[in-house]
Structure 1
Amino acid sequence: MRLAVIGGGGFRVPLVYGALLRDSAKQRVREVVLYDVSAERLEAIGHVLRRLAAGHDDPPVVRTTTELDAALREADFVFSAVRVGGLAGRVADERVALELGLLGQETAGPGGISYGLRTVPVAVRVAERVAALAPRAWVINFTNPAGMITEAMRRVLGDRVIGICDSPIGLIRRAAAALGLDPARVSPDYVGLNHLGWLRGLVHEGEDVLPGLLADDAALRQVEEARVFGAEWVRTLGALPNEYLYYYYFTREAVAAISGRTRGETLLDQQEAFYAAVRARPGDALAEWRRARRQRDATYMAEARGAAEAGERDATDLEAGGYEGIALALMAAIARGEPATMILNVRNGSSVPGLPEDAVVEIPCAVGGAGVRPLATRPLPGRLLGLVQQVKAVEQTAIEAALTGSARLAVEAFALHPLVDSVTTARALLDGYRARIPELAAVIAG
């Protein structure tokens, strides 16, 4: 099989290639084509991949290109992982909001809307080229905000685009491990949107074991989300929230914690140092990448853990792997007919009552050779459904704003978000983002 990676010069591409190197099945990816707008970044990641492949008898062949169409031709799978505006854009996403006293974060709140506004048109153009050049390919979307981008790409590709995220599986692993259970032998009742969902049940041998976990102080302390949110609050919810819900439930604390140095600023420095080091010493590319990856992983959501005094990330979390494993399992289920149940970002249909049929939701799905089938979920209670409905309305409004170039709709998307407290502030957000992010100003021009 041939895999095209859109955003192939990105820092996390070696994780995907490493997962492919571990795949020993006969029907596997034989060729990887990396596409990126930056030839320099492609060269740096190419050095890392060559060193990862050293010692493997039959590693997937790697090609690089700065021509999108060349990457997509004859692809069986396409991974879309682009960052429009680069990390400088992410820094602006965070800083503009913080300067207005709001949460500055990549996907939650104003920053996620800004990121989506400038990314939707690019993602749709990628989808159009996939439809033209590789109509039988499956697109696996990693690009954030994942739910919004997957929903926009669905307008072109329908069910052949699937969004993935590693937050839900990480939560499930931690919950199962706290109970001494094998994560592969539990069935999660997880429902919501990307970066906005809840684990409401965890069935093992026919019994929901989540209530027992919520009642056990010692077991709860082993779950990072419970330490971040506090045992009292997760018991009040009767569920374990996705880690990103910290920004909704503890907004003041989150803003205070990141008003100094933002995640975007930290990553920008780390990655600039990595790419510079590889340019200077190509032979050390793999060692430099591993060093930078350790820093990146250890500081993930550090502001939430710090504000909640939740401690450092568990070493087993860092070793368990993330979205690259989910992507490989998804490809194997589709291409090789290896049935699996996975939490994915897919069209709702009737799976989540109270949301539009065409809304992309994050829920358990049955995956196999015939594709992806969303599974029905229990209705969300009002205290959870209302938040999901409001954020989904924001996402859908932002998609329309991005595709039409409408400043009015862009302001509406900002103003409707639960983390934005004023229409006047919404207008200031749009003005600030257009002033600092040229890619967004090009989309929302008037």
Structure 2
Amino acid sequence: MKLAVVGGGSTYTPELIDGFARLRDTLPIEELVLVDPAADRLELVGGLARRIFAKQGHPGRIVTTSDVDAGVADADAVLLQLRVGGQAARNQDETWPLECGCVGQETTGAGGLAKALRTVPVVLDIAERVRRTNPNAWIIDFTNPVGIVTRALLQAGHKAVGLCNVAIGFQRKFAKLLDVAPSEVHLDHVGLNHLTWETGVRLGGPQGDDILPKLLVEHGDAVAADLRMPREIVDRLGVVPSYYLRYYYQHDAVVEELRTKPSRAAEVAEMEKQLLEMYGDPTLDEKPELLAKRGGAFYSEAAVDLAASLLGNGGSPYQVVNTVNNGTLPFLPDDAVIEVQAAVDGSGAKPLSVPKLDPLYAGLIANVTGYEDLALQAAVHGGRERVFKALLAHPLIGQYAYAEQLTDSLIAHNREHLAWA
């Protein structure tokens, strides 16, 4: 089995490598290719990756290359984890929207649109290269904004499934609170990428008893603290919103918070500098503790599980993924990409049925789906007017004057990444 990781020079990668090494019986990789244009980073990460495999007795071969075509050739699956423009572009995404009182965040609002515009053309180019060299390969997208990127891939006819670590993070945290194995926790997870709610927590599988009300009574303080939301919000909703719902439910407070501290991108850039220095130590043969602060917790477990299922090598029968709606949420277009529990096997991901949603959630999902449709049009076709319409449609923006100002700012800060600008 051959896997390729495009963006393999990321400081995230040792987390992925550690999972591949530990879970080699679930996903028996014979060759792993790390692909990245940043040759200096790639060699540091690749060296540590080989040492991790060696320490854990993994027999697989790790190859590094900057040649996308060579890297993805004959791969059974290609995992995408890109950041076009690096942390510098992310820092801009997190700062210029604050100038007009809007959230600055790399996947949500105006910053999220900027990332989509930079990312979608690059991902589609890579996917076409995969299709030319190996049309049967699965593409697993971990690149944000996952929902928009996955929709771009699916609409272009690629074999693609999107992956996010929010759901597996909840699963692990709930399992710890309940003192059960993570495999026993099944989430009724519904929404769009970074716009989701846990509407049920079941033990033993999709038909298990829903113990979410009991979980909130007994552990509501811990859940709310993890979300950085007041417990009152969680109690009144009776569900567990993802952390990203802070940007909607507490928008103005979050904007003020973001204005008073360094951007997350600045923090991560400093962390990455330290991590790369560590990766260059020839005695280091495990992922360092600092990596846990970088983000992406449990990413490797989710990636291994998904790849194993898609490649017919086992894996969990049900997983939270980003896949085509196809009637699952009847108020959305069939070709919308949703994030829900799905049955995953070699034929792809098929969403499980979802009970009728409360308008409180369905309305926001429909609104953001409309934005995502416009965002994808802007990313694929370009043009100032398309960018403006996407921003005007976003529920965190929605005002003409703000959309005008943010359109100009977005283009000015991203011109080098926009072929049409």
**TM-score normalised to the size of structure 1?**
0.88
Aligned to 1:60: 60
Contact 1:93–1:114 (8 Å) recurs in 2: yes
**Match of 1:213, SS?**
helix
Distance 1:224 1:235, change over 3 A: closer
Q: Where do 1:234-383 residues align within 5 Å?
A: 234-259=234-259, 260-275=261-276, 277=277, 282-283=281-282, 290-297=288-295, 321-338=297-314, 339-383=316-360
Choose 431-440 or 66-75, whichever is displaced more. Answer: 431-440
Distance 1:291 1:55, change over 3 A: closer
Aligned to 2:380: 403
**Match of 1:342, SS?**
strand
Task: Give a deviation string over 1:54-102, Cα, whole Å, max 9, x none.
Answer: 3343432111111111111101010001111111000010111112221
Q: Where do 1:9-408 residues align within 5 Å?
A: 9-25=9-25, 28-158=28-158, 160-204=159-203, 206-214=208-216, 216=217, 218-224=218-224, 228-259=228-259, 260-275=261-276, 277=277, 282-283=281-282, 290-297=288-295, 321-338=297-314, 339-408=316-385
Task: Give a deviation string over 1:21-43, Cα, whole Å, max 9, x none.
Answer: 11342861111111111111111
Distance 1:26 1:416, change over 3 A: closer
Contact 1:407–1:444 (8 Å) recurs in 2: no
Contact 1:334–1:367 (8 Å) recurs in 2: yes
Contact 1:5–1:79 (8 Å) recurs in 2: yes
Contact 2:163–2:321 (8 Å) recurs in 1: yes
Task: Give a deviation string over 1:181-201, Cα, whole Å, max 9, x none.
Answer: 433223321100011010111
Contact 1:4–1:71 (8 Å) recurs in 2: yes
Deviation, structure 1 residue 337 = 4.3
**Match of 2:43, SS?**
helix
Task: Give a deviation string over 1:147-182, Cα, whole Å, max 9, x none.
Answer: 110100112234x20001111121233234333443
Distance 1:327 1:294, change over 3 A: closer
Contact 1:201–1:209 (8 Å) recurs in 2: yes
Q: C-alpha separation between the residues in 1 aligned to 2:58 and 2:232?
A: 52
Residue 194 of structure 2 aligns to which amino acid in structure 1? H
Distance 1:273 1:25, change over 3 A: closer
**Match of 1:283, SS?**
coil
Q: C-alpha separation between the residues in 1 aligned to 2:272 and 2:27?
A: 34
Distance 1:4 1:439, change over 3 A: farther
Deviation, structure 1 residue 226 = 6.5
Residue 212 of structure 1 aligns to which amino acid in structure 2? K
Q: C-alpha separation between the residues in 2 aligned to 1:397 and 1:117?
A: 11
Task: Give a deviation string over 1:339-385, Cα, whole Å, max 9, x none.
Answer: 51000000000111211100000000011233322111112211111
Deviation, structure 1 residue 270 = 1.9
Task: Give a deviation string over 1:287-337, Cα, whole Å, max 9, x none.
Answer: 7x615414435xx9xxxxxxxxxxxxxxxxxxxx51211110112222234
Contact 1:117–1:443 (8 Å) recurs in 2: no
Q: C-alpha separation between the residues in 1 aligned to 2:353 and 2:251?
A: 31
Contact 1:225–1:241 (8 Å) recurs in 2: no
Q: C-alpha separation between the residues in 1 aligned to 2:81 and 2:165?
A: 14
Structure 1 gap segments, 5+ residues each = 301-320
Q: C-alpha separation between the residues in 1 aligned to 2:46 and 2:201?
A: 41
Contact 1:192–1:388 (8 Å) recurs in 2: yes
Contact 2:150–2:162 (8 Å) recurs in 1: yes
Contact 2:4–2:34 (8 Å) recurs in 1: yes
Deviation, structure 1 residue 444 = 4.3
**Match of 1:222, SS?**
helix
**TM-score normalised to the size of structure 2?**
0.93
Task: Give a deviation string over 1:95-152, Cα, whole Å, max 9, x none.
Answer: 1111222111111111111100111111111111111111111111000000110100
Percent identity, aligned pairs only, is: 35
Deviation, structure 1 residue 278 = 5.5
Residue 184 of structure 1 aligns to which amino acid in structure 2? S
Distance 1:412 1:41, change over 3 A: same
| Equivalent pairs, count | 416
Residue 176 of structure 2 aligns to which amino acid in structure 1? A
**Match of 1:437, SS?**
helix
Choose 255-264 or 354-363, whichever is displaced more. Answer: 255-264
